[in-house]
C-alpha cells in the first residue's frame, strides 16, 4: 500500500511536472499553456501530491503508533478510488475551464493552408460588411493583432496596428474604392466583397509599434497567411517619404484628383458618425480638455484676427489676440489697445503696427 502511494506521489511531482513544462516551453498549445502551467501544477502536483504523501505516511505510521493493522483489500480500494477520482476531477476541470473561456473567446474553423481547426479570438466579427459600426466602436482606442478570413477561399491576412479602428477604416476604404491598387487584400475584398470576409482579433496589446510587430510576426509564422506579401512584420512600418515626394503627392492629389473630391456624405453616414462620437465621449475624456489658447484645436475660432506688420514689410497673421500675445510674450491688453491705432509698438525689439484687417495688396 505504502509503495502505491509513493509511486503516485512521484508521478505527480515528476512526470506531471515534465509534461506541463514541455507544453509551456514548446508552446504546442498557444491558447491553453498558462492553464496547464497553473492549473495542473498547483492543483494536481502540489495539492494531490501532498494528499498522496499524507496517506502514505498514514498507512506507514498509524500501525506503528497505535499497534493496529488495517485491511489491505480496503486499503487498495481506497487508493484506487482516490486515484480514479483525481483523474476524473482533472478532466472535468479542463472541460469546465474550456466552457468558461468559450464565452470570452470565439471559435472559427479554418481549413485553408496554414490554418488550424481550432482558432480562438479575443473578438470575432463574422460578416465584416454588416459589422462595420460594431468594429469601429469596439476597436476604438485599442492596439493589437487582427486576422481577416476569406470565407469563400479560406485565405488569410494577418496584420497589426497601434490604432486598430483607423487601420480598419483604411482597409474598408481601399475595399470600396475604384482606384487601382496592388494591395492583395484590397483586391480580394473588391472581388469577393466585404460580406465574404470575417475579422478576428487575435490579441490586444500595448500601444507600442515594436510589441505589435513582434506579436504579428508570431501569428504570421503560425498561420502562414496567403494575403501577406511581406514575410516580415513591420517591413514598411516607420517608412517616411522625402519632402520632395510629399510635395509631389500633394500636387498629384489636389482638387479634382483627390479621391474624395466632390463627394457628399449621406445623412445616414453623418448621423452615424455623430452618434459614434457622442458614444465615445461618454466614456472617454476629450484629449484637448483643459487646454487653452494656442494649445487648443479650437484656437482662434470666433476670435478677432490680428495682422502685424514691421518696417521691413513682413506680415504675421494670428487667428486671435491671444495668439499674438503668446507669440510676442506680452500682455493681452497691450495687443488689444494697439489694434488699428496706426501707431507702432515695440515687440521683441522692433516696431510693429497691429491691425484688424490685412493691408491691401500692392
Our measurement of the distance from residue 188's CA atom to the centroid of its chain's CA atoms, rounded to an integer in Å, reads 24
Cα–Cα dist 127/109, whole Å: 15
Residues 6+ apart with CB under 8 A from 235: none
Query: What is the DSSP track for 278-346?
Result: HHHHHHS--TTTT--GGGSTTTTTTS--EEEEETT--EEEESSHHHHHHHHT--HHHHHHHBTS---EE
Say yes or no: 79 and 147 in one domain: no
Whether 31 maps to a domain, the answer reads yes
Give the per-residue pLDDT at 339.
Answer: 87
Look at residues 42, 77, 102 and tell me which one is the last residue of a structural domain: 102
Query: What is the count of structural domains for the chain?
Result: 4
Residues 234, 250 share a domain: no
Residue 81, C-alpha cell as written in the block? 478510488
Same domain for 275 and 343: no
63 phi and psi angles, rounded to 5 deg:
-60, -35
Is residue 225 within 8 A of residue 157, CB to CB? The reply is: yes
Cell numbers for 209: 509599434
C-alpha cell belonging to residue 86: 483525481
* 168 and 251 co-located in one domain: no
Instruction: Examine the domain organization and report whether 203 and 275 are in the same domain.
Output: no
- Cα 297 from Cα 302, distance rounded (Å): 13
Q: Considering the domain boundaries, does residue 293 fall inside one?
A: no
Domain match, 64 and 11 both? yes
- pLDDT value of residue 182: 84
Q: Are 90 and 44 in contact (CB under 8 A)?
A: yes
Domain end point (choices 102, 131, 165): 102
First to last CA, the chain: 110
For the chain, give the number of residues: 362
296 located within any domain: no
61 located within any domain = yes
Residue 362 counted as domain residue: no
Distance of CA 268 to the CA centre of its chain: 28
Looking at the structure, tell me whether residues 234 and 260 fall in a common domain. no
Same domain, 113 and 229: yes
122 & 171 share domain: yes
Q: Report the C-alpha gap between 268 and 257 in whole angstroms.
A: 26
- In this structure, the answer to whether residues 136 and 228 fall within a common structural domain is yes
Extract the C-alpha cell encoding 274: 455623430
* pLDDT one digit per residue (tens) for the chain, 362 residues: 555 555 655 565 555 555 555 544 444 444 344 444 444 555 556 666 667 667 666 777 767 777 777 677 777 777 777 777 776 766 665 555 444 444 444 455 554 444 443 457 888 999 999 999 899 989 999 999 999 999 999 999 999 999 999 999 989 988 988 888 888 999 999 999 999 999 999 999 988 888 888 899 999 988 899 998 877 776 555 455 565 676 777 777 777 777 777 788 888 888 888 888 888 878 877 665 665 554 454 455 556 678 899 988 888 888 788 888 888 889 888 988 888 888 899 998 899 999 888 887 65
Residue 198 sits at φ, ψ, to 5 deg, of -115, 155
Q: For the CA atoms of the chain, what is the radius of gyration?
A: 34
- Helix, strand and coil percent figures for the chain, each rounded to 5: 50, 15, 35
Q: Looking at the domain assignment, is residue 300 inside a domain?
A: no
> For residue 110, how many other CB atoms are within 10 A of its CB?
18
Angle made by CA atoms 243, 245, 251, in degrees to the nearest 5? 105
| Residue 299 lies inside a defined structural domain of this protein | no
CA 219 to chain centre: 14
Dihedral sign computed on CA atoms, order 94, 100, 105, 106: positive
Separation CA 300–CA 298 (nearest Å): 6
Vertex 124 angle, CA 190 and 20, to 5° = 130
**Are 323 and 257 part of one and the same domain?**
no
**CA gap 6, 21 in Å, rounded:** 22
Give the span between the Cα atoms of 194 and 173, in whole angstroms. 11
Confidence (pLDDT) at 230: 78
- CATH, residue 120: 3.40.1440.10
What is the model's pLDDT at position 356? Answer: 82
Q: Which domain holds residue 35?
A: 2-102
- Note whether 149 and 201 are within 8 A (CB): no
Q: Looking at the structure, do residues 17 and 32 belong to the same domain, yes or no?
A: yes
In a domain, residue 219? The reply is yes
Structural domain ending residue among the three candidates 182, 216, 239: 239
- What DSSP line would sit under 229-259, residue for residue? --SSTTTTTT----HHHHHHHHHHTSGGGST
Q: What are phi and psi of 116, to 5 degrees?
A: -140, 140
C-alpha 44/C-alpha 17 separation (Å) is 10
Nearest to 46 by CA among 16, 66, 25: 16
Q: What is the value of pTM for the model shown?
A: 0.40
| Burial call 216-236: b when 16+ CB within 10 Å, e when fewer | bbbbbebbebbbbeeeebbee
Amino acid at each position: 500500500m505504502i509503495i502505491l502511494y509513493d509511486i503516485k506521489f512521484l508521478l505527480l511531482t515528476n512526470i506531471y511536472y515534465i509534461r506541463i513544462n514541455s507544453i509551456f516551453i514548446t508552446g504546442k498549445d498557444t491558447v491553453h499553456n498558462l492553464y496547464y502551467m497553473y492549473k495542473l501544477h498547483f492543483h494536481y502536483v502540489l495539492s494531490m501530491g501532498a494528499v498522496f504523501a499524507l496517506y502514505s505516511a498514514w498507512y506507514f505510521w498509524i500501525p506503528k503508533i497505535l499497534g493496529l493493522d488495517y485491511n489491505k483489500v480496503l486499503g487498495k480500494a481506497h487508493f484506487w478510488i482516490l486515484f480514479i477520482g483525481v483523474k476524473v476531477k482533472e478532466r472535468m476541470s479542463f472541460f469546465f475551464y474550456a466552457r468558461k473561456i468559450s464565452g470570452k473567446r470565439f471559435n472559427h474553423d479554418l481549413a485553408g493552408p496554414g490554418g488550424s481547426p481550432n482558432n480562438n479570438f479575443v473578438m470575432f466579427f463574422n460578416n465584416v460588411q454588416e459589422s462595420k459600426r460594431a468594429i469601429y466602436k469596439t476597436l476604438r482606442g485599442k492596439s493589437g493583432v487582427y486576422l481577416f478570413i476569406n470565407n469563400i477561399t479560406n485565405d488569410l491576412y494577418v496584420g497589426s496596428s497601434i490604432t486598430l479602428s483607423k487601420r480598419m477604416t483604411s482597409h474598408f476604404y481601399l475595399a470600396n474604392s475604384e482606384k487601382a491598387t496592388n494591395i492583395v487584400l484590397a483586391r480580394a475584398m473588391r472581388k469577393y466583397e466585404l460580406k465574404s470576409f470575417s475579422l478576428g482579433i487575435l490579441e490586444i496589446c500595448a500601444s507600442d509599434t515594436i510589441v505589435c510587430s513582434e506579436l504579428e510576426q508570431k501569428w504570421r509564422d503560425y498561420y502562414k497567411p496567403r494575403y501577406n506579401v511581406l514575410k516580415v512584420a513591420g517591413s514598411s512600418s516607420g517608412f517616411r517619404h522625402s519632402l520632395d515626394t510629399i510635395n509631389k503627392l500633394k500636387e498629384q492629389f489636389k482638387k479634382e484628383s483627390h479621391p474624395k473630391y466632390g463627394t457628399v456624405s449621406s445623412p445616414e453616414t453623418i448621423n452615424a458618425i455623430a452618434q459614434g462620437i457622442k458614444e465615445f465621449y461618454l466614456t472617454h475624456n476629450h484629449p484637448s480638455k483643459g487646454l487653452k489658447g494656442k494649445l487648443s484645436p479650437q484656437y482662434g475660432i470666433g476670435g478677432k484676427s490680428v495682422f502685424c506688420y514691421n518696417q521691413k514689410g513682413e506680415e504675421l497673421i494670428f487667428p486671435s489676440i491671444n495668439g499674438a500675445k503668446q507669440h510676442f510674450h506680452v500682455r493681452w491688453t497691450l495687443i488689444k489697445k494697439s489694434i488699428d491705432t496706426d501707431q507702432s509698438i515695440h515687440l521683441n525689439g522692433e516696431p510693429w503696427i497691429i491691425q484688424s484687417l490685412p493691408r491691401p495688396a500692392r
